[in-house]
């Protein structure tokens, strides 16, 4: 019986010590806040300080309730949150997430290829390398900007049919991945290929005895691209011969100057000049970001942890790569009270294993 009383006495003593320590800590904090308040008053700053963190506590509770109500498994919400910065609702360039989700598909394309094309604090060398790349993006980027993927597909079909955008299937990408380029930029590439071909013939660099038709590139531009009869990502040899009376030598010149690539012996992909360099940076950056996430515990890491180190082997920015990963379903991006959380998915793990 005496032992029980002794133990109870010790418990009461430690409880009193804990209460005294808590009281002293709060008193010290209150004195510090009071001192800072006096300093602010002396400097003319009369803002009311949050002494006991009441406002912060309410803010944390509100954000936690919003996170619970949204649900981590909602992929559309995750895609929408991918565009917000550390403060929920604001993108890195000052555009709010609600404004981003209200964009049309064409506006989202320009947002990705203009606003996010050159990363913040890019070195002159990276800017020079980016200037040589065609301004293009993947369909997955648009899926990340606009949560309604059905609307993206519908508007994208209309834009391709109207001749505003062209869709391409590039080497190194998956079967369900397509690149987008403005039709005006693709026409400029055809004209650049024509200029390059003429220059090579005049300077003697092109020593191939098989010459292309004099108006090959002009016909390819008018009857294949501007006529909007061939808006698919592929074209057959029969269609080329029917549209522009292309010979085997003509088709070889189109392939040599980067306007076509071989899919099958009698079928070709439409190609973008300089797309090889773009895909090199694009795939390396995607792989490096996925590996950074995989090395973290549970395959999760905060956005600030990823941006603390530069992306290796890529001149494209973090936001550009992140939108691709979110839109393609390789990572989930969720807003938390600690900032944006990136979580690798099974699709992302499969990409690392394959590559």
pLDDT at 55 over 60: no
Do 264 and 280 sit in the same domain of this protein? Answer: no
Give the model's pLDDT for residue 13.
77
Give the model's pLDDT for residue 353.
83
pLDDT at 159 over 70: yes
Look over the chain and give the mean of its residue pLDDT values, rounded to a whole number. Answer: 78
Of 254, 271, 288, the one marking the end of a domain is 271
Cα–Cα distance for residue pair 284/292, rounded to 1 Å: 12
pLDDT at 36 over 70: no
Of 212, 244, 271, the one marking the end of a domain is 271
- Biggest CA pair distance of the chain: 111
Exposure string (b/e) for 235-256, b if CB count within 10 Å is 16 or more? Answer: beeebbeebbebeeebbebbeb
Assigned domain for 29 exists: no
Assign 255 a pLDDT band (cuts: 50, 70, 90).
Answer: very high
Assigned domain for 13 exists: no
Tokens of 179: 């690149």
Give the model's pLDDT for residue 52.
39
Q: What is the mean predicted confidence (pLDDT) over 60-76?
A: 50
Of 271, 302, 335, the one marking the end of a domain is 271
Of 7-16, 267-276, 336-345, the range with the highest mean pLDDT is 267-276
Give the model's pLDDT for residue 74.
44
Cα–Cα distance for residue pair 113/272, rounded to 1 Å: 15
More confident residue, 29 or 80: 29
Which of 40-44, 188-192, 225-229, 256-260 bottoms out in mean pLDDT, i.e. has the lowest? 40-44
Domain that holds residue 292: 65-102+276-354
Give the model's pLDDT for residue 72.
44
Let me know: does 222 contact 187? Beta carbons within 8 Å. no
The CATH number for 332's domain is 1.10.10
Tokens of 141: 């980027």
Of 62-71, 72-81, 192-201, the range with the highest mean pLDDT is 192-201
Q: What is the mean predicted confidence (pLDDT) over 133-152?
A: 91
Q: Which of 203, 112, 95, 93 is nearest to 152 (CA)?
A: 112
Residue 300 β-bridge partners: 343
Do 294 and 223 sit in the same domain of this protein? Answer: no
Assign 32 a pLDDT band (cuts: 50, 70, 90).
Answer: low
Assigned domain for 28 exists: no
Assigned domain for 310 exists: yes
SS3 263: strand
Do 259 and 298 sit in the same domain of this protein? Answer: no
Which of 157-161, 218-222, 340-344 bottoms out in mean pLDDT, i.e. has the lowest? 340-344
Counting residues of the chain whose pLDDT is more than 90, the rounded percentage is 25
Let me know: does 217 contact 190? Beta carbons within 8 Å. yes
Q: Which of 269, 253, 185 is nearest to 217 (CA)?
A: 253
Tokens of 89: 């609702």
Which of 96-105, 113-122, 301-310 bottoms out in mean pLDDT, i.e. has the lowest? 96-105
Assigned domain for 301 exists: yes
Give the model's pLDDT for residue 176.
72
pLDDT at 303 over 90: no
Assign 33 a pLDDT band (cuts: 50, 70, 90).
Answer: low
Cα–Cα distance for residue pair 220/216, rounded to 1 Å: 6
Give the model's pLDDT for residue 61.
53
What pLDDT digit, counting tens, does each position of 314-349 carry? 888 888 888 899 898 999 888 888 888 888 988 888
Assign 272 a pLDDT band (cuts: 50, 70, 90).
Answer: very high
Q: How many domains does the chain have?
A: 2
Do 267 and 308 sit in the same domain of this protein? Answer: no
Give the model's pLDDT for residue 172.
67
Assigned domain for 129 exists: no
């Amino acid at each position: 019986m005496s032992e029980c009383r002794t133990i109870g006495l010790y418990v009461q003593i430690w409880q009193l010590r804990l209460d005294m320590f808590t009281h002293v800590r709060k008193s010290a904090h209150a004195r510090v806040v009071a001192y800072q308040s006096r300093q602010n008053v002396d400097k003319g700053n009369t803002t009311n300080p949050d002494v006991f963190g009441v406002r912060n506590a309410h803010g944390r509770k509100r954000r936690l309730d919003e996170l619970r109500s949204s649900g981590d498994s909602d992929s559309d919400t995750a895609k929408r949150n991918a565009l917000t910065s550390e403060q929920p609702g604001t993108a890195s360039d000052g555009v709010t997430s609600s404004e981003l989700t209200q964009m049309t598909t064409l506006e989202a394309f320009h947002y990705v290829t203009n606003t996010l094309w050159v990363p913040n604090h890019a070195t002159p060398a990276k800017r020079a390398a980016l200037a040589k790349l065609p301004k293009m993006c993947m369909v997955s980027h648009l899926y990340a900007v606009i949560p309604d993927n059905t609307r993206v597909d519908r508007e994208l079909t209309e834009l391709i049919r109207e001749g505003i955008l062209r869709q391409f299937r590039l080497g190194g990408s998956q079967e369900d991945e397509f690149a987008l380029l403005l039709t005006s930029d693709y026409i400029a590439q055809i004209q650049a290929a024509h200029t390059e071909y003429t220059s090579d013939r005049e300077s003697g660099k092109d020593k191939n005895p098989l010459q292309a038709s004099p108006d090959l590139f002009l016909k390819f531009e008018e009857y294949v691209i501007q006529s909007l009869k061939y808006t698919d990502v592929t074209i057959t040899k029969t269609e080329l011969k029917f549209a522009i009376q292309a010979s085997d030598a003509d088709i070889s010149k189109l392939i040599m100057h980067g306007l076509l690539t071989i899919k099958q012996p009698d079928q070709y992909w439409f190609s973008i000049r300089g797309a090889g360099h773009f895909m090199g940076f694009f795939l390396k950056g995607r792989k490096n970001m996925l590996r950074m996430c995989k090395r973290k515990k549970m395959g999760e890491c905060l956005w600030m942890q990823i941006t603390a180190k530069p992306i290796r082997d890529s001149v494209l920015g973090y936001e550009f790569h992140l939108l691709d990963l979110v839109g393609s379903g390789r990572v989930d991006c969720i807003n938390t009270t600690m900032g944006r959380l990136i979580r690798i998915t099974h699709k992302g793990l499969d990409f690392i294993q394959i590559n």
